[in-house]
Structure 1
């Protein structure tokens, strides 16, 4: 009698462990130090924009979705045609470093999903470059006021 109970307990434990291991990849997850994440609760409140998941080992219900975002510095290079202050068309190569605001990844996912580079960063960057360079002449942009133009572009683009 004792041995049949022991066999039953072992079978139940093995079954439980098998279930646990099969769901482990969808229950447990790691957010790296270069990432932040948000969770979409399918049977609850939806996208949790307020609770940004910090780096470390975490767990979630297997039916909820996890969305990770890279928060390291990213580089965007553009060649843009711009009209200077006197109406002259100039072609400029510009480079921008950016990273996502840690606390905004929920809002970014809700609005742009993972297409934020094409739908948010590049349009704002281009618009800012055109706006700032339109205040100066080509001579000023390429010589005397270059540093001022760079600082203004950086200042205005960082507000987004």
Structure 2
């Protein structure tokens, strides 16, 4: 009898004990008490004791990732292959409602259709060239925004949507790359022209400045001032111990003519 009681006890403990691992949470289902518990927080990590006739449904509540590969149409009807990924997690406080209304397959029932719908809507507003080059970041943000709007009332927390790859037909891709290369070469040529124009303008301004300075200097040098400067320079030269000045007459403006200098 003791052995039977022990076995029964072990079975009861096994049925009433629930251990929830890290990063997970449990939704309690009361068989005789209204089914899924939605008015109470979910069961957190650790060890829990429940009635043997109840059960616990365990969910991953950490951030998870889902990959989506799809074919969508651009604004001009060209088929585009798009690879996206979404980071998501269930809303912890509403885990009971998520289980009751959406179920354990909420990703395939709610999130994936929302991502596909938002992606088709956004990509359909852009040309292949915009998708491939200039608008990739904008497209990514728009897909995230529209997907989040769809799932915001579905007890799903959407953290990010990433556009990982955009696939175009080879002929279209080559044409876009040639056009981008030509545009880059044109921009480079315009830059060189602008740089040459600025250098020419700098040289013109510098030349005008020098010409103006020379004009002002010429206007200020009268004959009398030049004569005084010549006399002053001659006097300074005569004071030098290594200089011999022999005056044999007068030069232009009445200045002495220097014949010897050692």
Q: TM-score range by the shorter chain?
A: 0.7 to 0.9
Unaligned runs of 5+ in 2: 152-262
Moved more, 27-36 or 87-96: 87-96
CA–CA distance in 2 between the matches of 1:45 and 1:34? 27
* 1:77-99 deviations in Å (ceiling 9; x for gaps): 22211122233221111122222
Equivalenced residue count is 149
Shift of 1:17: 4.7
Which of the residues 79, 89, 93 maps onto 1:99? 89
Which of the residues 111, 117, 120 maps onto 2:101? 111
Shift of 1:15: 6.2
* 1:127-157 deviations in Å (ceiling 9; x for gaps): 1111121222221111111011111212232
CA–CA distance in 1 between the matches of 2:122 and 2:94? 26
Question: Which secondary structure state, in structure 2, belongs to the residue aligned with residue 67 of structure 1?
Answer: strand
Which of the residues 60, 63, 66 maps onto 1:73? 63
CA–CA distance in 1 between the matches of 2:93 and 2:76? 41
Normalising to structure 2: TM-score of the pair?
Answer: 0.52
Normalising to structure 1: TM-score of the pair?
Answer: 0.82
Equivalent position of 2:130 in the other structure: 140
Equivalent position of 2:22 in the other structure: 33
Structure ranking higher on relative contact order (CA contacts 8 Å, 6+ apart): 1
* 1:32-71 deviations in Å (ceiling 9; x for gaps): 2211111111111211023211222111100012100011
The Cα RMSD (Å) is 1.9
> Are 1:24 and 2:24 counterparts?
no
Shift of 1:120: 1.3
Question: Which secondary structure state, in structure 2, belongs to the residue aligned with residue 99 of structure 1?
Answer: strand
Structure with the largest fraction of helix:
2
Unaligned runs of 5+ in 1: 1-10
CA–CA distance in 2 between the matches of 1:46 and 1:25? 21
